[in-house]
Structure 1
Amino acid sequence: MKNVVLFLALFLFVFSSAAAYNPKNKVVNELSLAERLSKHKTNTSFVRIDSAVISRFFKLYPNIKKHKSDLTALYKKRKYNSIWFDDQGIIEFANLLYSKVNQLEDDGLPSRFAYKDKVDLIFDEKPSANITFTETELLLSSMYIFYAKKVYKGISTEKIREIGWFMPTKNLSYSGLLQSLLADPQLLDKNEQQLFGQYYKLRAVLKKYRQIEQNGSWKLIVSDALIREYKPGDSSKTIGQIRHRLATTGDLERNSQSNLYEEELMNGILNFKRRNGYKLDHSITSSHIARMNIPIENYIKAIMVNMERCRWIAPELTKAQEYIIINIPSFKLIYKRDGKTELESNVFVGGTMNETVIFSSAISHLVFSPYWNIPTSIVESEIKTALERDKNYLVAHDMEWNKNRLRQKPGPKNPLGKVKFIFPSASDIYLHDSPVKNLFESEYRAYSHGCINVNKAQELSYLILQNHPEWPADRIKKAMDSGKETTCVLKKKIPVHIGYFTTWVNDSDEISFFIDIYQRDERLAELLFSDDAK
């Protein structure tokens, strides 16, 4: 009898073990998710995670295998404990994350989690019997890694470098980010510790422009081909269409539906031109109308592309007490101190054959009445030809040889003007003054050989040296006018960031769209919207 009992016990054990094991659908032996959740309580011991379990999981889900190393590191950091279950079942944060993943379009991301259909089953009112606790756990963690990479990190550093972006990119800790999100789930909506503040400004405008697209108010402006320019006082149906567009974009507070070009429309035109980098006058030319007629989907695409650029920037870059940022497409320099804009200046940047490099550095010293050490490339491509035509070219242009290098002496002919700002640069790029001030009023200002010419360079010098009592204003002016090169070493280096944003939202929440002078948006869009990115 005793042997019979033992036999029956052994038979039941083997039968129950076999019934629990389903290699096609389960990562480890465990009760199904549906069976366990039906009891409303969860014993997290049923969630079994180790490196072997993770490896088996990615064999079942190969399309997300690229997340394996990050997911393994995440669990190793958390000592292989469950993230997504407590004694009540799946934690509420999982539902919030699931909702955000389903709304990635709001973040300018045309992406879809590879196993979204499986994750949908987890959050279905009747959970699938084919998904185990461990599968659920690892699917949710994979979805988290996917979401964090897309929203907080962006495309890979290698691809960023390939497209010529050398500003420092941020390091993202998936474990640290998760810890902060679990502690404060509201950070899913806005997390300026992880994302550059401009990102959220662009996200808000993206929502606005998509709404404009949906309601069909972005209508084509039809102009008379014989009319090259509209001026105040003109009357035309085209004027009424322009008024409608400016009211749609917020450049006008209201649409009076008038076809007359009067004072209210003049102010709207000035707003439009200010936002888009045009000279501030009241004329409306065919080029302005052509700009207005760019399809709204192009503007939406530009916003999405620039949101991606924001993902690469470490927010702490703009937390410095003072810093300088130059945006190449807007031809603008901004000097910030204590969070306030102290100076804004027009700049020249490199032309298409001499593109200004996108990178970050720190200004270490200023040079007043600087020599211009002429790059060898310019000597070879320009000056040698000039010398062949005119043997007195060097004397006429205040140039001289110095240690086998050609340089131009300080003075009114020197293209560096009265001051230059030096920072480490592999490309020998720096900021400097310019004696040719009238060109700064041009709408297109990509004229330089790569360096950045600053219209208000002299004013910037005074501001930077405000906290250097040994450099009072009269000493600075004297050094600028002396004709003798003088160096001023800063007590504290000033960060300088040279970036590339074809859209930008200012402090008044107005968006600007700038010409993509180096044709970089399309290349980035290809990377962002490709099948690999999804």
Structure 2
Amino acid sequence: MTKINSPRRAARLKYGLFALALGSISSFGFGTMATAQSTAFRQAVASTASVNDDVAQFYRENTYSALWTGGDAASNQRRAALLRALEEASAHGLPDQSGTAASLVEQMRNARTARDFGQVEAALSTAFVNYAAMVQTGLLKPSAIDSDMVRERRDHDGAAALAGMRDNQPFAYVRTLVPASPQYRALMREKLRLEQVQAAGGWGPTVSGSKLEPGDTGRNVVALRNRLIALGYMERSATANYDHNIERAVESFQSDHGLEVDGVAGGGTLKEINRPVRDRLKSVIIAMERERWLTPDRGARHVLVNQTDFTAKIIDNGDITFETRSVIGKNQSGRRSPEFSDVMEHMVINPSWYVPRSIITKEYLPKLRNNPNAVGHIQITDNRGRVVNRANTDFSQFTARNFPYAMRQPPSRSNALGLVKFMFPNKYNIYLHDTPQKSLFKREVRAFSHGCIRLAQPFEFAYALLAKQTEDPIDFFHRILKSGKETKVELDQQVPVHIIYRTAYVSNKGRAEFRRDVYGRDAKVWSALERAGVSLSDVQG
């Protein structure tokens, strides 16, 4: 088995020598050639930088002045900071940059002419801009991986990053490029912890059997006990019986993995207990990439919907102040809930359900062709909002393309949206809402909707939002509810909503939690990361 830290120690030693070489780089001519700003130097910078628009822009705006190749202490610090950043790229779940670093050092050592130094100058800037883009906004374009990952990756301003490197203390500035969210830092720590676990041999043998429960005894119970100890859910024990300590450990594991908490190690629980360290490492690395996609400014108060966790939370200044179970879109084409961020502007109490065109044509029109009185709880309306007389309408003449009517379910307790919906207007027609189908919230996997997010406690969610603008949110809400009238309530404080998809995250208690890949999106993300150069090659065993 190769120990995970060995290659990294070697890399640090190697780059330490690189830094020493850079410290005396003026002996190779950096101090004279770069500061001379010869025509040959500027031409070489312009030509080499032309492959990257941001790098080219920076040098045009700075009269092709040297950023890296001066013989002064500041230039030396920038070179050392860049090499350190490249050395540590893999700690962020990014592709190994040791080859890039080695190539740059070799290019610096071999530089002799003004043209050589101009090429080195632009090459260092290009490497820095590429690193900054990866660590700040991610490697991948979400929508290119899955059409339901509609989150827009932030644009990266490479010219501004180079200006930041010029104007600030280099090592400190490089640290500011890394996402500052507590979640990102916690994921980095979990990545390192898992790498150390894997280097030490992992979590040991897997557990056989299809089901283990309190009262059982024997070899499989011993394997379960040992696995739970290795996973950190039990203190060391010699028991061969499925006793209370094992039951409590199983319950804790189930809670941390989004499973039904019953203390019984059934098939689903055993499958998660038996997952290897490599699987968990992949989830953490994917979560770090996903964290880079999110805007740094999430909002002091925001709503966070994690699809794989089937929850919706209100976050205030980093603390969870409200949480409820949710139902997400069914795992079918056209029904999966998308991932994106928007801003909640208002809620509607006693909402009508205006049936989406896709549901009308795919689900309701075929029924109406056979029976004009089908789906009788839904009103059919013309383009002036008048209710259509079903008895006088031949629905068989219509197709999905030419169906001329809209459909609406008036406010009621049986309304598909329940009694309240929460709106953050978006082109995907996704929102949060109540539902009359309360039994679905008892399920372990809650993927049943057409794409919108259903809430188990929508009234309480409304109270929490309204508490910012009225002294008695419960009374305010129920006065409107009792009226039975469809009422739009504007939020005085609009609230950012982030619909995310995380199979790995670190809770506020500091423990890593994992969820199943409900839609198979993380498998796609990992494949894309591998194609981009990310690997677990350091992790063996």
TM class by smaller structure: 0.7 to 0.9
- State the AA in 2 paired with 1:37: S
Q: Does 1:340 align with 2:340?
A: no
Do the aligned residues in 1 keep the contact of 2:329 with 2:453 (CA within 8 Å)? yes
CA offsets, 1:159-200, max 9 Å, x none?
658644333432333344345556345547753774544222
Q: Distance in 2 between matches of 1:179 and 1:269?
A: 53
Question: Partner of 2:302 in structure 1?
Answer: 323
**Aligned ranges 1:28-107 → 2 under 5 Å:** 36-37=26-27, 44-46=34-36, 52-57=43-48, 66=51, 68-84=52-68, 85-88=70-73, 90-107=75-92
The alignment of Structure 1 onto Structure 2 pairs a total of residues equal to: 485
Indicate how the Cα distance of structure 1 residues 166 and 195 shifts in structure 2: closer, same or farther if over 3 A, else same: farther
Q: Residues of 1 paired with 2:178 and 2:534: CA distance?
A: 25
Residues 1:208 and 2:205 are matched in the alignment: no
Measure, in 1, the Cα distance between the counterparts of 2:196 and 2:178.
29
Which among 211, 227, 240 is matched to residue 222 of structure 2? 240
1:437 corresponds to: 438
Which structure would you say has the larger Rg?
1
TM-score (norm 2): 0.80
1:530 corresponds to: 531
Q: Tell me the secondary structure at the aligned position of residue 488 of structure 2.
A: strand
Q: Aligned with 1:341: secondary structure?
A: strand
Which digits, 9 at most, give the CA deviation of each residue in 1:411-452, with x for residues without a partner? Answer: 221121110011211121111011222211211111000111
1:110 to 88, 91, 95: 95
Structure 1 partner of 2:455: 454
How far, CA to CA, are the matches of 1:436 and 1:460 in structure 2? Answer: 17
Report the Cα distance in structure 1 between the residues aligned to 2:164 and 2:24, rounded to whole angstroms: 30
Deviates more, 1:429-438 or 1:455-464: 429-438
* CA deviation vs aligned residue, 1:208-257 (integer Å, no higher than 9, x gap): 11111111032232323xxx4222232233223223333333333x3324
**Which sits farther off after the overlay, 134-143 or 295-304?**
134-143
Match of 1:421 in 2: 422
2:54 touches 2:159 (CA, 8 Å); kept in 1? no
For 1:99-498, list aligned pairs within 5 A.
Answer: 99-112=84-97, 115-121=100-106, 127-128=109-110, 132-155=116-139, 157=141, 160=144, 163-180=147-164, 183-185=168-170, 187=172, 190-191=175-176, 194-224=179-209, 228-252=210-234, 254-316=235-297, 318=298, 320-353=299-332, 354-387=335-368, 393-395=374-376, 398-402=377-381, 403=385, 404-469=405-470, 472-498=473-499
Q: In terms of mean alpha carbon deviation, does 294-303 or 165-174 score higher?
A: 165-174
- Work out the CA distance in 2 between the residues paired with 1:310 and 1:212: 23
Tell me: CA distance 1:158–1:331, structure 2 relative to 1, closer, same or farther (3 Å): closer
Contact 1:167/1:498 (8 A) holds in 2? no
For 1:463 and 1:113, the matched residues in 2 are separated by 50
Q: Check whether the contact 1:195–1:311 (CA below 8 A) recurs between aligned residues.
A: no
Amino acid at match of 1:307: M
- Does structure 1 retain, via aligned residues, the 8 Å contact 2:93–2:285? yes
2:492 is paired with a residue whose SS is strand
Stretch of structure 1 that moved more, 423-432 or 297-306? 297-306
Q: CA deviation at 1:80?
A: 2.2
Contact 1:229 1:286 in 2 (8 A): yes
Letter in 2 for 1:469: T
Structure 1's unaligned 5+ residue stretches are 1-32, 59-64
Q: 1:352 to 1:39 in 2, by over 3 A?
A: closer
Q: Which range is displaced more, 158-167 or 471-480?
A: 158-167
Q: How far off is 1:56 after superposition?
A: 4.1
The alpha carbon displacement at 1:207 in A equals 0.8
Q: Is the 8 A contact 1:34 1:129 kept in 2?
A: no
* Deviation of 1:89 (Å): 8.2
Structure 1 counterpart of 2:466, one-letter code: L
Q: Secondary structure at the match of 1:273?
A: helix
Does the 8 A contact of 2:416 with 2:436 survive in 1?
yes
- The 3 A distance-change label for structure 1 pair 441 and 184 is farther
For residue 503 of structure 1, report the CA deviation from its aligned partner.
1.4
Gaps of 5+ in 2: 1-22, 386-404, 536-541
Partner residue of 2:513? 512
Does the CA contact (< 8 Å) of 1:420 and 1:431 recur in 2? Answer: yes
How far apart, in 1, do the equivalents of 2:509 and 2:159 lie? Answer: 35
User: Separation in 1 of the partners of 2:516 and 2:47?
Assistant: 50
CA contact (8 A) 1:40 1:88 kept: no
Q: Give the Å deviation of 1:347.
A: 0.7
Amino acid at match of 2:346: H
Q: How far is 1:523 from its partner? A: 2.0
- Whether the 8 Å contact between 1:196 and 1:311 is mirrored in structure 2 is no
Q: Secondary structure at the match of 1:91?
A: helix
